[in-house]
Amino acid sequence: MPATPPPASSHPPEALSPAAGDALLSTIRQAAAKLGFAHVGVADVDLRSAEAGLLAWLEQGFHGSMHYMQTHGLKRARPAELVPGTVRVITARMDYLPEATPAQWREQALQRLQQPDAAVVSLYARGRDYHKVLRQRLQQLAEVITQHAGPMGYRVFTDSAPVLEVELASRSAQGWRGKHTLLLSREAGSMFFLGEIFTDLPLPLTPTEPHTDYCGQCTACLTACPTGAIIAPYRLDARRCISYLTIEHHGSIDPKLRPLIGNRIYGCDDCQLVCPWNKFARRTPLPDFDERHGLGHAQLLELWQWDEATFLQRTEGSPIRRIGHVRWLRNIAIALGNALREADETGAQAIREALQQHANHPEERVREHVAWALAQKTQR
């Protein structure tokens, strides 16, 4: 919310009649569509039923080194405590598959995972940083709301604070929590971002049908997870998740998990690639998420050659920049080690020579992972 937000009483319940609330919600949805959002809903702030699951997940240590999750504790499930005065949460979905994405994109992505020399970057991270795109557009949407409803207290979030966004989204008719723990939509699969506006404006709640899980008996995501991070339906141990390991985790990656990472150097889409619902994934009209610098078909040795200046230049405005050059090299070193085991003698020689370039890197994390990679033996 703003530095001096209006008190919650600035919008008492009687301030919006049902007709006025519905009209305002219609205006919000029209404005959201113009800003590139595919769907908007409104959720209540009572998430008490989600608290037990959150606490159990934290107590089991499944959050790994993401200590901020433990620090914020139950604030994640209590929007009115996180942002005092909040009575509603507007949830917004933004699709991210580029408009030019081919019909067989899932099959092509799965095939690329079988090419050891290929550098696999998660689909969502190949374009502009979604944090910036969503935050700006959510802010613009909030400004539209104030133009029609008057001053309100609000704060926008885009994966940037302790928010139970999947829980809020499912309670505002955006979809349901899949067995891989991501939100799923019958109309759009899961290839989208979520953002929220916490507000003291008592908007009408989005009607939701009784909880329905459309995953059925499917366990494709559990079977596909390379590291077994989805330990049970709806339960993710982040400490084993490749997205966590290559993005969130700062230190050394467990040697037992390194071979399982394969050629994935930033994030992992496997559980989404095999999900049947993603045959409905939608393309975005926004050019922000178009692929940059050939990241959809880059080779490991090509990206390994990026020095820090090149890395910073080519990841400007990208979510990849957040991991920094050291972790970039750490991740690629693991992938190169995995590629080395599959390479013929000519390919193996090229990989070894490339790895030697950073064998004496000033950062211990890089040296360690390079040494591991060089120790991998060709299995051919």
Which residue in 270, 268, 309, 310 sits closest to 293, CA to CA? Answer: 310
Taking 50 as the pLDDT cut, the residues of the chain under it are 1-9, 13
Rounded to an integer, what distance in angstroms lies between the CA atom of residue 114 and that of residue 33? 38
Task: Give pLDDT, residue 7.
Answer: 38
Give SS3 for 28.
helix
Q: Render pLDDT for 329-368 as a digit per residue (tens, 0 to 9).
A: 999 999 999 999 999 999 999 999 999 999 999 999 999 9
C-alpha dist (Å) from residue 120 to 38, 326, 331, 344: 27, 18, 11, 21
Residue recorded with tokens 């919600």: 25
Helix (H) or strand (E) holding 27: helix 18-34
Task: Give pLDDT, residue 9.
Answer: 42
Rounded to an integer, what distance in angstroms lies between the CA atom of residue 229 and that of residue 227? 5
Task: Give pLDDT, residue 70.
Answer: 52
Task: Give pLDDT, residue 222.
Answer: 97
Q: Is the dihedral of CA 191, 284, 159, 157 positive or negative?
A: negative
CB atoms within 10 A of CB 2: 10
Active site residue ranges: 159
